[in-house]
Copies of this chain bind each other. A is one copy, B any other.
Amino acid sequence: MHQYVNAEQKKDLSRHLSVKCNRNSGSKVTDRLQPVEPLKTEGPSIAEIDSKRKRESGVTEASPMRLRMEAFIKEQQDEIVRDLERIDGGAKFRRDTWSRPAGGDGISCVLQDGNVFEKAGVNVSVVYGTLPRAAIQKMRVNHKALDDPSIESLEFFAAGLSLVLHPHNPMAPTVHLNYRYFETMDKTGEGKAWWFGGGTDLTPSYLFDEDAVHFHKTIKEACDKHGRDYYPRFKTWCDKYFYIPHRGESRGIGGIFFDDLDEETSDQESLFSFVQSCCKSFLPSYLPIIERRKNMSFGKNEKAWQQLRRGRYVEFNLVHDRGTSFGLNTPGARVESILMSLPLTARWQYMHEPEIATMEERTLNTLKTPKEWA
């Protein structure tokens, strides 16, 4: 439990930083990726060094992990966006890109009111910045590499891919994914501490056991290749994190969640490989589900129930998700990217309770007691 709390504090921080990425962009967005404008210091900044590296020799297995993670999530974003556009068969994603003067950039891809998706957001953000001493001290608990009390500030890098899909059809579940990499460096760009975080979870309005089993099994297979204890450990963590205490229910039927994975769990190369497997398992975990649910018939009552469940999604994201609240409380954050996770529409009905022995009641009961699915 103690370990969990520390990891959560760190998650706040990394999300906070990924939000700060956009602080100098405001609502100004452009249609293409703008060049990085480095911060003027004595020597070249790490962002400048990295930028030069990428220009001159591209990104290979010999590149620093931060460049490999950045390249990987940008590729994944493109692949996911392509497949989702195919599934939707109608709307295209709107693509907003921006850069921040101190280094880093972001790409928000959002599809709204499509054939299949009511709202779908796939977001990449990359940030270079400086961590003050107070922030380092908060992190020291978990990362031995940060244990030097003489350090006054550290350079950091954060890169993450986030995704939330809200389909129109109440039979088709909402899905969320986020994978991120965090690194601290000295002035020359030499790595000090690093960790991976992330996960994916499914939120059905109507629970179909076969969907839950398929989703969890696909993720479990991706996990099992890298560590036998990964899936059970991260499945439990997910159930704990995506819980709405004031409702006494989970946001959905879970998946995996982890944070703060560093050398105490495994070496950097193995963990990167693990995160890659997780990320690549996303399309196989979700596409068969959306394919079989997107055209199911439904009526007004099913739509109304979905809207109530969307209300719960909003409650979790705005009240309990530390990343979201931290982001929203950060002056200058790009709010539209943070809140792209909210559904297009939601509903709050006083004292609503599903009728006994209905699919709605069965779904709600499952959200009150997390189950094993794989």
Bits for A323-339, please: 1 = Cβ < 8 Å to B, else 0.
Answer: 00100110101011001
Interface segment, one of A72-80, A179-187, A346-354, A362-370? A346-354
Q: Are A319 and B314 touching (Cβ within 8 A)?
A: no
Q: Are A328 and B333 touching (Cβ within 8 A)?
A: no
Q: Are B325 and A350 touching (Cβ within 8 A)?
A: no
A339 to B244, CA, bound (A): 14
The residues in A between 187 and 220 inclusive whose CB is less than 8 angstroms from any CB of B are: none
Q: Are B331 and A245 touching (Cβ within 8 A)?
A: yes
Bits for A118-149, please: 1 = Cβ < 8 Å to B, else 0.
Answer: 01010000000000000000000000000000
Q: How many chain copies does the complex carry?
A: 2
For A314, what are the chain B residues with a Cβ–Cβ distance below 8 Å? 314, 318, 346
* With known contacts A318-B314, A318-B319, A112–B246 Cβ distance under 8 A: no
**Among B94, B246, B311, contact of A350 (Cβ-Cβ < 8 Å):** B94
For A331, what are the chain B residues with a Cβ–Cβ distance below 8 Å? 245
A121 to B349, CA, bound (A): 11
Q: Are A307 and B350 touching (Cβ within 8 A)?
A: no
Q: How many whole Å from A322's CB to the nearest CB in chain B? A: 12
Q: How many whole Å from A342's CB to the nearest CB in chain B? A: 4
A246 to B325, CA, bound (A): 10
Q: How many whole Å from A354's CB to the nearest CB in chain B? A: 13
Residue of B nearest to A331 (CB): B245
For A233, what are the chain B residues with a Cβ–Cβ distance below 8 Å? none
Residue of B nearest to A347 (CB): B345
Residue of B nearest to A342 (CB): B348
Q: How many whole Å from A47's CB to the nearest CB in chain B? A: 26
**Among B319, B328, B340, B342, contact of A325 (Cβ-Cβ < 8 Å):** B319
Q: Are A112 and B349 touching (Cβ within 8 A)?
A: yes
**Does A344 sit at the interface, judged by CB under 8 A?**
yes
**Does A371 sit at the interface, judged by CB under 8 A?**
no
Bits for A232-248, please: 1 = Cβ < 8 Å to B, else 0.
Answer: 00000000000001110
Q: Are B344 and A345 touching (Cβ within 8 A)?
A: no
The residues in A between 298 and 331 inclusive whose CB is less than 8 angstroms from any CB of B are: 307, 311, 314-315, 318-319, 325, 328-329, 331
Q: How many whole Å from A123's CB to the nearest CB in chain B? A: 11
For A325, what are the chain B residues with a Cβ–Cβ distance below 8 Å? 319
Q: A119-B348, A307-B345, A339-B348 are in contact. List 4 more A-B contacts (CB 8 A).
A: A315-B328, A318-B319, A343-B348, A345-B346
Chain A residues in the interface with B (C-beta under 8 A): 27, 94, 96, 110, 112, 119, 121, 245-247, 307, 311, 314-315, 318-319, 325, 328-329, 331, 333, 335-336, 339-340, 342-351
Query: Can you spell out 18 A-B residue pairs with CB atoms less than 8 angstroms apart?
Result: A94-B350, A96-B351, A110-B351, A119-B350, A245-B328, A246-B328, A246-B329, A247-B335, A314-B314, A315-B318, A315-B328, A319-B319, A336-B351, A342-B348, A344-B349, A345-B347, A346-B347, A346-B348
